[in-house]
Amino acid sequence: MTPGIRPLIAGNWKMNGTLREAAALAEGIRAGLDRSPDADLLICPPFIHLHVAAAAMGWKPVAIGAQDCHPKASGAHTGDVSAAMLADAGVAYVILGHSERRADHGETDALVQQKAAAVIAAGMVPVVCVGETEAQRDAGEAESVVSAQIAGSLPPDFAIAKGVVAYEPVWAIGTGRTPTEADIASMHDRMRAEVAARFPGLGEGTRLLYGGSVKPSNAVAILGLPNVDGALVGGASLKAEDFLAIAAAVPAP
């Protein structure tokens, strides 16, 4: 954790589930929230499940996020969804530049930066993902890859809009493997220094999440590391009790 920063626990549901399952998952989280967690909570269903998840969540203070958007506000972009449309639908956060989108759709840092600017212009908060592949880590390039992604993917108004950065080593996503605590801490220290240098006076307060095989059994250790201000959770966020257990692992302020 970073003193003074309220943590964020975000669930990335990816391309999973039916309408009924999305509603049941949101309802399970709502029903299990028996006390206020020491963190902001966020669920990011697929576009087509945003509405039912939000409706099932009801008044509980769990924000709704999307997993991508188009950089343009509207127009001839078949199959895409704009930031303005998401804001209109009650979305508060948008995950951008996830490694699966970078890999599956060839998304570049420049495109991620345009999307983040669009999200901010629409009044929402971007959650920009960065992270090295296993080959890059083995080659000793992890830190330089992440630094370049941060430099290229964050628009100028990122910190003032309270943008969030998620460090997600590609080789740790969905694999059950995680970096050592020392490796997570040293990457987050470096990320902190970079956002602080890029956004003087504001970057010190930027939320830096860790993502990649976060689960109830490792959440206490990961969330206790310096400069780890929350988690972006994939697989474990598909079970309400696991997501809530991770939220409950946030250290008290």
Q: Which residue is nearest to ligand PGA (CB)?
A: 234
Based on the shown chain and the rule CB under 6 A, indicate whether residue 234 belongs to the binding site for ligand PGA.
Answer: yes
Based on the shown chain and the rule CB under 6 A, indicate whether residue 103 belongs to the binding site for ligand PGA.
Answer: no
Return the residue of 174, 226, 251, 253 that touches ligand PGA, per CB under 6 A. 174
DSSP class of 17: -
Do 109 and 66 touch, CB atoms closer than 8 A? Answer: no
The C-alpha atoms of residue 249 and residue 86 are separated, in whole angstroms, by 30
Sole residue written with tokens 């990011």: 44
Annotated active-site residue 51? The verdict is: no
Based on the shown chain and the rule CB under 6 A, indicate whether residue 117 belongs to the binding site for ligand PGA.
Answer: no
What is the nearest approach in angstroms of ligand PGA to the Cβ of residue 251?
A: 20
Return the residue of 130, 184, 232, 250 that touches ligand PGA, per CB under 6 A. 232
Annotated active-site residue 134? The verdict is: no
Do 203 and 192 touch, CB atoms closer than 8 A? Answer: yes
Based on the shown chain and the rule CB under 6 A, indicate whether residue 173 belongs to the binding site for ligand PGA.
Answer: yes
Based on the shown chain and the rule CB under 6 A, indicate whether residue 29 belongs to the binding site for ligand PGA.
Answer: no
Angle at which helices 19-32 and 50-57 pack, to 10 degrees?
30
Q: In 3D, which of 248, 232, 117 has the Cα closest to residue 166? A: 232
Total of residues contacting ligand PGA (CB under 6 A): 13
79 burial via Cβ count (<10 Å: 0-12, 13-18, 19+): exposed
Tokens of 119: 């999200």
Based on the shown chain and the rule CB under 6 A, indicate whether residue 96 belongs to the binding site for ligand PGA.
Answer: no
As a whole number of Å, the CA-based R_g of the chain is: 17
What is the nearest approach in angstroms of ligand PGA to the Cβ of residue 71?
A: 21
Which one is catalytic: 27, 49, 70, 98?
98
Closest to ligand PGA by CB, 232 or 249: 232
What is the nearest approach in angstroms of ligand PGA to the Cβ of residue 68?
A: 13
Residues catalogued as catalytic: 98, 168
